[in-house]
């Protein structure tokens, strides 16, 4: 058994909230650079260049990449050999978010009640997904999610007979509806299978996977590639102002499902696809 103090979790989450909002991961940066070389629209090329410049300014002057510093989504996997000491874990996580958003000069974008809409002024609560894993580690991923793109995401309960073709149709329809609203170039996380809520969670998780790592399932890897090509043929382009760079990547996660169903979730993200992972 290993003892982990919740103060270490609070500190890690604080730092990860700040880091995620200032620095993108290498895979996204590489895709952006590659797209900038490949883009045929002059305006599209110009916008991609501005997005790259934006990343440099964010890093140099410590200004968040995007003013929507998101709602903090936290995936925390706790080894079953770990014993947690200190605060109640949920409070420890929210303390980390609170400190990170305050000390990192990040925007407080959370309202306490979806209808009454009063800002909580510290960006809590976060969205926390717990899981238990074998071993002695605590694995944390912090993925602040902006809502320009979150608002364009969808869950569709397809029929088994809709198959791959139905999935493609629903994804492309979602991307076209999103268009310029979701700040293209986008990153698309897709969940297929499970239940209504499981596929949405898979889609969110898919966004945290390295874009250079395709699915290990051959048929899913092919679907990721084909969808990316088809999305980039829509003509939406950077900023929605035309071009062939509509998405930088498509990641798909799957799970077993029911004989009667084919749940599909499409989680749209902009190029500011933020996620930081740490193992304690």
Partner 1 sequence: MDKHITTPIDTSKVIALKAGDYVYLTGRIYTARDAAHKRMFEALQQKEELPFDIINQVIYYLGPTPARDGQVIGSAGPTTSSRMDKYTPSLLNLGLKGMIGKGKRNDDVIDSMKKNKAVYFAAIGGAGALLSKCIKSSKVIAYEDLGTEAIRELWVENLPVIVVIDSEGNNFYESQMNFTS
Q: What is the largest CA-CA distance in the chain?
A: 59
User: Out of 13, 16, 65, 200, which residue is the one contacting partner 1 (CB under 8 A)?
Assistant: 65
Residue 218 binds partner 1 (CB under 8 A): no
Report the DSSP pairing between strands 82-85 and 71-79: unpaired
Query: Considering the complex, what minimum distance in angstroms separates the CB of residue 97 from partner 1?
Result: 15
Residue 64 binds partner 1 (CB under 8 A): yes
User: Out of 57, 88, 130, 173, which residue is the one contacting partner 1 (CB under 8 A)?
Assistant: 57
- Eight-state DSSP code of residue 65: S
By beta-carbon proximity to partner 1, the closer residue of 105 and 130 is: 105
Binding track over 10-39 against partner 1, x by CB under 8 A = ------------------------------
User: Out of 135, 160, 163, 235, which residue is the one contacting partner 1 (CB under 8 A)?
Assistant: 235
By beta-carbon proximity to partner 1, the closer residue of 107 and 129 is: 107
Angle at 59 between CA 179 and CA 272, to 5 degrees: 20
Write out the binding residues for partner 1, residues 37-56 only, by CB under 8 A.
41, 43, 47, 50-51, 53-55
Tokens of 31: 């895709």
- Eight-state DSSP code of residue 211: T
Tokens of 29: 């940066």
| Size of the chain in residues | 280
Question: What phi and psi values does residue 187 have, to the nearest 5 degrees?
Answer: -120, 130
* Residue 86 contacts residue 6 (beta carbons within 8 Å): yes
Is residue 78 within a helix (H) or strand (E), and if so which, with residue range? strand 71-79
Write out the binding residues for partner 1, residues 90-149 only, by CB under 8 A.
105-109, 117, 119, 121, 148
Distance CA 137, CA 140 (A): 10
Binding track over 146-185 against partner 1, x by CB under 8 A = --x--x---------------------------xxxxx--
SS3 label, residue 89: helix
User: Out of 14, 204, 244, 275, which residue is the one contacting partner 1 (CB under 8 A)?
Assistant: 244
CB atoms within 10 A of CB 192: 23
The residues binding partner 1 (CB under 8 A) are: 41, 43, 47, 50-51, 53-55, 57-58, 61-69, 105-109, 117, 119, 121, 148, 151, 179-183, 233-237, 239-244, 270-272
């Amino acid at each position: 058994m290993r003892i982990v103090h919740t103060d270490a979790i609070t500190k890690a989450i604080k730092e990860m909230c700040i880091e995620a909002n200032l620095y993108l991961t290498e895979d996204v940066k590489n895709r952006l650079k590659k797209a900038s070389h490949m883009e045929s629209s002059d305006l599209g090329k110009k916008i991609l260049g501005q997005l790259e410049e934006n990343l440099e300014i964010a890093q140099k002057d410590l200004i968040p990449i995007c003013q929507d510093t998101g709602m903090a989504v936290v995936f925390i996997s706790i080894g079953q050999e770990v014993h947690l000491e200190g605060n109640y874990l949920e409070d420890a996580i929210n303390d980390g978010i609170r400190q990170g958003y305050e000390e990192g000069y990040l925007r407080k974008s959370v309202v306490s009640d979806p209808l009454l809409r009063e800002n909580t002024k510290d960006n809590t609560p976060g969205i926390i997904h717990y899981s238990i894993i074998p071993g002695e580690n605590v694995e944390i991923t912090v993925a602040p999610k902006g809502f320009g793109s979150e608002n364009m995401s969808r869950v569709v309960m397809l029929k088994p007979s809709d198959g791959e073709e139905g999935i493609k149709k629903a994804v492309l329809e979602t991307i076209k509806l999103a268009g310029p609203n979701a700040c293209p170039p986008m990153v698309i996380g897709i969940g297929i299978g499970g239940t209504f809520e499981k596929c949405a969670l898979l889609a969110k998780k898919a966004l945290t996977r390295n874009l250079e790592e395709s699915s290990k399932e051959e048929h899913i890897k092919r679907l990721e590639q084909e969808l990316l090509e088809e999305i980039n043929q829509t003509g939406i382009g950077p900023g929605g102002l035309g071009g062939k760079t509509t998405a930088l990547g498509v990641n798909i996660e799957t799970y077993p499902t029911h004989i009667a169903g084919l749940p599909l979730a499409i989680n749209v993200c902009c190029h500011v696809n933020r996620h930081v992972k740490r193992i304690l």
